[in-house]
Structure 1
């Protein structure tokens, strides 16, 4: 069974609830981090307990930095704030940059990242000394720069993907209907030719009509939606980039470094964060917006 929730949670009748067994393991991961265990040591201990998810160093790192474990409108809290921030502080202090920053996880994206000002492509840059990343517009006149770390960008994309998989994606039946119509016309043409009493000009007109219908089927939005629905149905959290590359057309930056995923059907999804008190960065309420 494919996983549709973060480790520590499960989906029951469309509602996200805490998984008692997995939530205990998540708490143990945080405890091990605070006690001084490395990400690899934590992964080695935890890996045997999971069958439907790959537990490795990157996965442990994502779990330890996932703010959903603090609780929000979708997820019941599993980790208290003191534990969360202490673990992240220790993890960041022990973290080292990969020997080759060009092998960063975010580079698995195959769809373009677009400038919020002019819409041109943006290019990622890595500052090795500061262990920071930023994106810069490739348009010479614009040169808009967006400062966002890979981890923040990945977290937003994963949250958007979770939202897409948590709510059933409805595919249009336009493509199905059009395919049926073209199939019926093709059958009619074959029947007339088989009868040997057909009019050549009529058959010619119908063949041209069929060709036009088949051509129109190719870019049909309904077909695109069906492909998106199929990819989302097979979604695996550990292969989120693969699914994003399949269903996405581009990624756009917005205000406050928000990251939007634009699907191939034109719908745009973005995670919004609302702070109850700007002085308390740990109080965050998340919602999602979709524009089609």
Structure 2
């Protein structure tokens, strides 16, 4: 990469993984408050104010923009549509417009929530979208804004993202399993748990193969782990692994419940399995079953955590 690489959302679970995993020259990290989680300084990039982004980009002049920032509060988005749209759509459009004008590349991340979850086979990139709520609509609008900008970009749709750090299902389940004798977990939503390690590793492979000609329909690719499970199955697997590793002194009972038994303000897709075949073929990159990546992530968590 010739020129600076700007990482937006450097404090998020995906941004932190980029910082740890990617050996990129001239990596410039940016966060909303201008600080990193380790206390060091970063650039300020506030995606809630899309109009503020061009001045930052003009100063840094990145050759590549990695947008790991997003508004991800799915339920809260139902009450904050304008804010979700600012971060997930208008800011993405502003990044795209700058990149198109200044011949920069962009890697951007989207979500399974752009689909309605009514499929019975893994969603392909060409399948019709139909988001169920504000979050999904805002992420779809971001995809559309980046595509319309004409920037040289890749959009990776991912799902059920987790990491050893940050707010995510894995860390929530580990905390609750240590506190309770019984957990109730939804079993009628199906997806592919995907670690941030996998997302960054695949993104780096895409960077290495970027010179290959990409048509417009190849700009959106599905990036998830292979295989599928329910939230209940994911919880069982990670809690059993934690028990084997000695992180949990006992195994709580994990009761399978329905979505109706766990109501939320925003509707979730019942089926979130994405077909990752196109990414594997285009970038000559093999994606393992989700259980393999879970084992790797669990092994990376310090025993004192």
Query: TM-score, structure 1 length as denominator?
Result: 0.27
Query: TM-score, structure 2 length as denominator?
Result: 0.27
More helix by share: 1
Indicate the structure (1 or 2) with the bigger Cα radius of gyration.
1
